Amino acid sequence: MKRIALFLTVLFAVCSMSFAQRTIASQDLEGAETINFASMSNAKTVTVTCTNVGGTSDGTLTLFGSTNGTTWSFLNFLGGELGTASPKASITGADLNQVTITTALVATWWIKPDIYPYHKIQAVGTSGDTTTLAVNWSKYR
């Protein structure tokens, strides 16, 4: 009986973790446009996968935080107090939470404290390129 209970507990934990990551959207960033991906509630990890469609993938991805889901603040990761971003070679900006879009980039943000219950990704492209962006987030680090 204890084995069955242990098996069911482990099975429940594995199933819960498999549904923990959510996909927000996959959308093409065409030219010098700006896309704001829907807000993520209580995100701890945000990942954006970039796939080049045409031209040379370029632009920036920026993580924002909000206390109410409507007024957004530029997060400052300088010093690592609020979190970190990866890959390090692509990080840009004085706040260290912007990532430069490149072909086949997989960018990840790890958010530390629960200061902001809502987060969103803003993608800004440059002219002459098209990049497909797939945004995923998780409530776990």
Q: How many domains does the chain have?
A: 1
Residue 6 has pLDDT above 70, yes or no: no
pLDDT tens-place string over residues 93-104: 878 889 999 989
Residue 7 domain flag: no
Residue 2 domain flag: no
What is the band of 133 on the pLDDT scale with cuts at 50, 70, 90? Answer: very high
Find the domain containing 109 and state its range.
Answer: 21-138
Residue 56 domain flag: yes
Q: What is the pTM assigned to this prediction?
A: 0.80
Residue 128 has pLDDT above 80, yes or no: yes
What does the pLDDT average to over 3-15?
44
pLDDT of residue 4: 47
Residue 4, sorted as left (phi over 0), alpha (psi -120 to 50) or beta, turns out to be alpha
- In CATH, what number is assigned to the domain containing residue 114? 2.60.120
Residue 85 domain flag: yes
Residue 102 domain flag: yes
What is the band of 8 on the pLDDT scale with cuts at 50, 70, 90? Answer: very low
Which of 73, 87, 81, 16 has the alpha carbon at shortest distance from 39? 73
pLDDT tens-place string over residues 35-57: 999 778 888 999 999 999 998 88
CA-CA-CA-CA dihedral for 114, 23, 128, 35, to nearest 10: -50
pLDDT of residue 93: 80
Residue 15 domain flag: no
Residue 12 domain flag: no
> Which of the pair, 115 or 31, is modelled with greater confidence?
31
Residue 128 domain flag: yes
